[in-house]
A and B are shown apart, each in its own frame.
Chain A
Amino acid sequence: MVEIVIDEDACVGCGSCVDDCPNEVYQMNEEKAKTEVIKAEDCMACLSCHEICPSQAMEHQDIHVAKRLYIDRKVSDVLNKII
């Protein structure tokens, strides 16, 4: 099963992940005004939530990481030198 860790300090409670996740993995904890994981067993590691979260507050552990051959290594090398 996918382990999802939420950084509560980073989460701004916008609820975007709750709305966007197709498998209802998250719900809002109204008291804390933070998201919480309620159904990690249904997570398919699509990582749409990573893309939508404004504060990069979640981490999915031990998942299949899709190949990213589209990343231009030359551009990345230049960026690495600058940053």
Chain B
Amino acid sequence: MEMEEIRGTFKPELIPEETGGDIADYEEALHVLMKFVGSMSSALEQVSGRGANAIVYQAGKRMGHDAGKLMEKTDNLEKAMQELSEILGVEFYFEMWKPSDQEGYTIEKGDETIVKLLFMDCVVRQTLRRTGLPQKGPLCYLLYGYMVGAVEEVMSIKGKLDIDHVGPNACLKTLTIKWGGK
């Protein structure tokens, strides 16, 4: 493989003007990263069994809390979802979803509010499919944790995310938020 070498003088803390690499290199890097992450996830599952989900969930949750700190606090669920989708970006494109016979997107049940989220684009799903791993495994829990952590931080509530269904083109999750603080 031919490689274009970049040469120059370099000082500590300096960002080089040219970092090299074109779009094809990034694509290759993405594939390598996907393979790495995929095999790490399956190894983790092999070693710690179902405990892997809990470990990854906690890691995701911590990341979510950190990300949530950068967001504006709100007690409006729809606004929180909108902010979250901005933070998650196009790689985790989701929308609220409801069955046709349900009136609004949210259901109130005692001190809980329930909303269904349809994840259409998801890098985790792509990574799993790239590595031939099934969905709903530890890597999915990273995203669940992230979502829950971010929602908890933004709304100062306790949250829970359950998987309803996973598919090759979209996954449906139920987000339950418990009012009354942490």
Contacts and interface: CB of A to CB of B under 8 A. Distances in A.
B120 A66 contact: yes
Interface string A17-36: 00000110000000000000
Contact of A69 (B30, B120, B164, B170): B30
A51 B167 contact: yes
A10 interface: no
B118 A50 contact: no
B interface, size bucket: 20 to 34
Given A22-B165, A70-B130, A44 B172 contact: yes
A41 B100 CA distance: 6
Interface string B14-58: 000000000000010011001000000000000000000000000
Please classify the interface of chain A as helix (H, G, I), strand (E, B), loop, or mixed, using the class held by over half of its residues: loop
A63 B121 CA distance: 12
B61 interface: no
B125 A66 contact: yes
B106 interface: no
A65 B126 contact: no
Interface in A2-56: 22-23, 39, 41-42, 44-48, 50-51
Contacts of A73: 27
A45 B34 CA distance: 25
A23 B170 CA distance: 13
Contacts of A47: 167-170
A interface, size bucket: 20 to 34
Given A46-B165, A51-B167, A73-B27, A67 B172 contact: no
Contacts of B115: none
In the A-B complex, list the 4 residue pairs whose CB atoms are closest, starting with the nearest.
A46-B167, A70-B130, A47-B169, A48-B167
Interface of A: 22-23, 39, 41-42, 44-48, 50-51, 63-70, 72-73
Given A50-B169, A70-B126, 17 more contacts: A42-B100, A45-B120, A45-B170, A46-B166, A46-B167, A46-B168, A46-B169, A46-B170, A46-B172, A64-B120, A66-B120, A66-B125, A66-B169, A67-B91, A68-B126, A70-B31, A70-B127
21 contacts: A39-B100, A44-B97, A44-B118, A44-B170, A47-B168, A47-B170, A48-B167, A51-B168, A63-B169, A64-B93, A65-B169, A66-B122, A66-B125, A66-B169, A67-B126, A68-B126, A69-B123, A70-B34, A70-B126, A72-B31, A73-B27
